[in-house]
Structure 1
Amino acid sequence: MDAFREAIRSERLAAGTRLPPSRVLAADLGVGRSTVVRVYSELINEGWLTALHGSGTEVSRRSAELTTKRARPRVPASRPRLVHDLRPGYPDLSSFPRDEWVRAVKRTVSNAPFEAFGYLDPQGRSELREAVARYLARARGLQAHADNVVVCSGAAEGLRLVAAVLAKAGVTKVAIEEFCLHTQRPALLKAGLEPVLLPVDADGAELAALDEIPDVGAVVLTPSHQFPLGVALQSDRRAAAVDWARRRGTLIIEDDYDGEFRYDRSPVGALQGLDHDRVVYLGTASKSLAPGLRVGWLVVPDRLVGPIVEEKGWAEESVGFVNQLAMADFIESGAYDRHIRAMRTQYRRRLQQLVETIGRECPTTRVTGMSAGLHVLLEQPGRSGAELVRRAAREQLAVEPLALFRNPGSASDRDGVAVGFAAPSASGWSGALDALVRALR
């Protein structure tokens, strides 16, 4: 609740900003839906949020007045409207292939068997599991079979399921990277697992630390493109991770959140391809297509299929059969590959423009992160990430501070902002880039 208030006060959530549905936010944060509903209700009562009948919840238009009264009682406040979104992890939604998706929906709904309209198998439709297995084997180098695929609503749900199964199996500690997606740690804590931190350097997570930590039963890694620092796990460390899992009888949880987008070479194969019995693979269409589809998948070892499906359960919210069948058709028809190739070209061009423009206009700014994914890390001497976020807000631009992704207990003093380059539409990209340059000057 305090985080919401602070986000509104600091203008990261501007008046009128639409908030995610309680069910979606609960899944992303790994908390119960009732918790999100309670927080929304209390913030509505306090005047920070407004409930829109039939349309969800948004930041109240009165929030600027509340912030002015509580934080700066004698100074009139003007709150800039954020019009450019360069937060990391968001794809260009304006490029969603509507026509091909509609055709896939029509084909699959017209031809779907009657039983598809009934209660769903918690493991997911066989058509999608087969399509995903074939795609991942071809595009990401996985050892995948449909029987090992579990359909889920995204990486957050996938991690929640795996964490719950690990806890029931007696695991007490799970290693995570010292910088990571800010939903990972809460998901582990909710399952009753203790997160322990791995330092990250230019070669990825420092895996030697695993042998120094007793009782670690699993490790969560982003080996193809570390989030948010943007480095790849080097080959010797990839081999070391698999060797550790084999020696200790432990598990690697591989979050391959944007593995398709590598611009300077062919994408690095998934870690799961080295040992399908010791790696759980998390994948999603959120970055490649759109997060609103809520389509993701797990590829798990044989021994974990039953426990994960049981944990997911018949009562668990599942991806609707229409999206499952449409996604299967989208993959099998080749439309998914065509879309990824088109977006890879577009994002490569944007990344090149961003690097060249900042190098020319803001030469003291350090741009890091390999030529992959949907974001870079920007660091400026003498300016904190929080200051850069404030400067960006004055230019009506949203970026995210690196501190948002630093786990408690990290010894790293790195600071800066994570800047996405994918979210703006084609027509909005140049304006967003100009606003970023003004913020950095």
Structure 2
Amino acid sequence: MTVYDNCHLGHARAMMAFDILARYLRFQNYKVNFIRNITDIDDKIIERANENKETIDALTGRTIASMQEDFAMLGLELPTHEPRATDHIEGMIKMIGTLIDKGHAYHSAGGDVFFAVRTFPEYGKLSNKNIDDLNPGSRIAEDESKKDPLDFVLWKSAKPNEPSWDSPWGPGRPGWHIECSVMSLENLGKHFDIHGGGPDLLFPHHENEIAQSECASDHKFANYWMHSGLLKINGEKMSKSLGNFAMLKDLFVSYHPEVIRYYLISSHYKSSLNFDSDSLDQARSALTRLYQAASLVPLQESDLHEDSVKGFIDSMNDDLNTPEALSILFGLAKSINSTQDAQDQSMYASTMKELGKVLGLLNDSSEAFLQYGADLTDEEISQKIEERNQARNNKDFLKADQIRDELVSQGILLDDSSDGTSWKKS
């Protein structure tokens, strides 16, 4: 995350993919060292702090706290470490010095330090791009002090009213690409298993990370690269620059966080996901079916349904096929609803809950989930239900119906049974 504002649904799309990956690896008994980097110094952060007339530390401190709050609401598990770029400046200066000593970087006449892309013959191997076909003008500003238009900045010389750190090349600050390499290497080592992010990072960011990291360490950087799909609104990438974003904090007002989570994993993590006004309502309806099935069975220890567990694992082993894994949960919900055998019901419910946890679902009580997002307080709703019950006892059915209709208009559905009246959010 680049922490200059609150998080939107597009950010959650990428974060969710890797939360699911870490959860599933742990479910399969792997020991996971999960690093989630934070960029807390860059052009956007400086610009926003100046706009707000606040310090960079004040801005990033507030937005990091907001990010962590949103991610906790979504049920994202804490990473092993969450390094910040500004805590690794010394390591960045050291890596830049190593690259200069090895002939892979140079201090330009303009004061910046650049990575010499053509000194790394394998440049483009991740994105399958030929270095001679690249058009740098389409992605980076031209700089006459570069030896080659493809070269990218490692260290930016200090400008007025910008934060800076001392270095052998004068005061300045790191470029974005070097930040991520150093945070990864210092927390995972010269060579590690999996690196990932959103699809827009594939080129040039991850390509640049590979080049500078492998040139500095003489080791392969990462074994596997994973990129999540874009989240789009009306066919366009969700982004703050386009002004077409849905803030997580706004969505949490009306939607249980697990509804948002369900929506994000209902498509394969690599696929493009299009967001519209009905998306979260459909996700809520689907997840409600699982919660309603779970509510039918008292929670107790039980053996798991082996075929369902095997089917779930097969689905997740197929490149984290979460839509197929979710279908296993719906199969279990159907079994709960169709059997009268209490022992079988308990087995199906226990399996559904256990597998749901791997996906970060079904962690709340059915009552809390079904009542989430009501505008009225629980006390106000209970009072309305009591008034309606009194009206029914007095055979004033017109008033009872008026109270029911009033609650329905505010998104509250009543369910009368022999045990009394319960309610849920429409």
* TM-score bracket relative to the smaller structure: under 0.3
Scaled by the length of structure 2, the TM-score of the pair is 0.26
Select the structure of larger CA radius of gyration.
2
Query: Between Structure 1 and Structure 2, which shows a larger proportion of helix residues?
Result: 2
Structure holding more strand per residue: 1
Taking structure 1 as the reference length, the TM-score comes to: 0.25
